[in-house]
Amino acid sequence: MKIETAAGTSSIDQTDRNHTYRDRTDMEGFQGGGQSSQQQQQSFGNLLPSPLAPPLVSNNPALEWVDLLLSGRCGTGTQQELLQSLQTGQGFSTGEPSGCSNEVLSEIFPMNSTGSAGVGVDVNDVRGSKGGGKMKKAAKPRFAFQTRSADDILDDGYRWRKYGQKAVKNSMSPRSYYRCTHPTCEVKKQVQRLAGDTSIVVTTYEGVHNHPYEKLMESLAPLLKQLQFLTRSF
DNA sequence: CGGGTTTGACCTGCGC
DNA sequence: GCGCAGGTCAAACCCG
């Protein structure tokens, strides 16, 4: 498995009009032939999670190959603040990405021409509430990053269930919607490939996990069992 | 059989 | 008001 820094910029194909996929054959080569996301997930090794940032961008050397959306495209102050906040374990999640133009945001997120969507913004998006409620959603931290990878699903240490997929305007690749499988966790993420460079995967996280790092807990489970056994022995 | 994926339908917001 | 686009739901389906 190799993931490289998604360097450089990619332009969105403005000519492509999208539609909802209705033919399964359209999905060939993208969904992985029915494999579960768990099977598709890559491993980032022993990266530790952060309460705000996903594990792969928090407090670890992986920053070298994780290219956040803002990298090199917004004010250097923003990038430095971003890296600093991640390296200090504080994460980057809320607030306006100062120095990042709407043009850049709208290129990354072509679905929102106003630039209200993007890195750390659009916390009051109320679209898609099928239930009919008119109440706005509670503000949730939202951030995104991009990686260069052959696989769409990155193993960030949490378990995700896919609940939807949509073709996105001005993008060749569909956008996939995932929810954290933890019962009390409402964190969502969107995964999409850049239209200009399909080797780059853009992952957008929304919300903060309110439960432990599941892969870590899984790996610790045998050890915990052993500890419980030993403590009972005394 | 349980959990995850697929996908058509439906909802809301926005621009014209 | 209408059409478009993004987001979500949920039934059907798939897989281990």
- Domain of A169, in residue numbers: 142-232
Is A135 within a domain? Answer: no
Which residue's alpha carbon is at the shortest distance from the C1' of B3?
Answer: A161
Number of domains in chain A: 1
Q: What is the CATH number of the domain that holds A185?
A: 2.20.25.80
User: What's the pLDDT at A198?
Assistant: 77
Inside any domain, residue A220: yes
The closest of A164, A160, A162 to A180, measured between CA atoms, is A160
Q: Chain C positions under 7 Å from a protein CB?
A: 4-10, 14-15
Q: Tell me what the mean pLDDT of segment A93-119 comes to.
A: 37
Q: pLDDT digits over A167-226, tens only?
A: 888 888 889 999 988 878 888 988 888 777 777 888 888 888 877 766 555 556 655 566
Gap between the Cα atoms of A16 and A149, Å rounded: 23
CA of A175 to C1' of C6 (A): 10
- CA–C1' A164–C11 (A): 13
Residue nearest to nucleotide C16 (CA to C1'): A36
A164 lies in a domain?
Answer: yes
pLDDT grade, residue A146 (50/70/90)? confident
CA-closest candidate to residue A79, choices A88, A67, A90, A89? A67
**A193: in domain:** yes
